[in-house]
Amino acid sequence: MNRSRGIVVSDNGKSIAATRLSRPLSDWVNEIVGLIVDNSIFIEEARRSLYGFLDCMLLRTIDYDVFLSRDADVEAVDVGYDVSTYGKKKPVHERLMFTDAVNLQEIMDHPNGDSHKTYQSGRGMAATTHGDAILSEAEDWCDAWWQDYTSNTLQDLDDLWEIFGEAGLTTPLDWYADLDGTLGDLRARCTD
């Protein structure tokens, strides 16, 4: 041990050599707290960016795809060993149009006319909702946001992916769970 960097402490007549910190402990604690605060601010800014991006993609999808294909009938079929529900789009003249006052969850829970396999025992097929389809598309939207958001970063992308993953920013599930309000509220968020 380098005695010039160490401190000699006496304990019941014994000499104990200890290294001296180059900085006071309070400086280390302040730096760590600062990194945590900076990281949380960084995460919140990223979350705002991601949620804004996903909201705009959702509004575009509702305006161009969902608006004209919103109404669908659901046909249930019980074949004895499983029950399937199939989506079937209504003819255009029977579709209901909606206004900005409609609740987003109502749109998301509404069947879109498609069906998908459930891979669950007792449920063969299920009518696909707009929410199912949008959540599936939102995976690609998240990837596009990630590429754009990190294109000019100097941080290690693997570390950033891990930080964002812990914060729920690598998949759209948290965004979808927090989705509330009306279509008008969504439009207002996208124009801010």
Measured between alpha carbons, how far is 176 from 36 in angstroms, rounded to an integer?
27
DSSP summary character for residue 80: S
Choose the weakest-confidence range: 5-19, 102-116, 171-185: 5-19
Residue where the block lists tokens 């900085």: 23
Banded model confidence at residue 50, pLDDT cuts 50, 70, 90: very high
Q: Residue 82 and residue 76: Cα distance in Å, rounded?
A: 11
How many Å separate Cα 77 from the centre of its chain? 34
**Predicted confidence band of residue 33 (pLDDT cuts 50, 70, 90):** very low
Residue 78 forms beta bridges with which residues? 83
Over residues 11-22, the mean pLDDT reads 50
CA neighbor of 46 nearest in space, from 133, 153, 176, 187: 153
DSSP 182: B
The strands making up 72-78's β-sheet, listed across from edge to edge, are 72-78, 83-89, 123-129, 111-120
Would the pLDDT of 61 be above 80? Answer: yes
pLDDT band at 157 (very low <50, low <70, confident <90, very high): confident
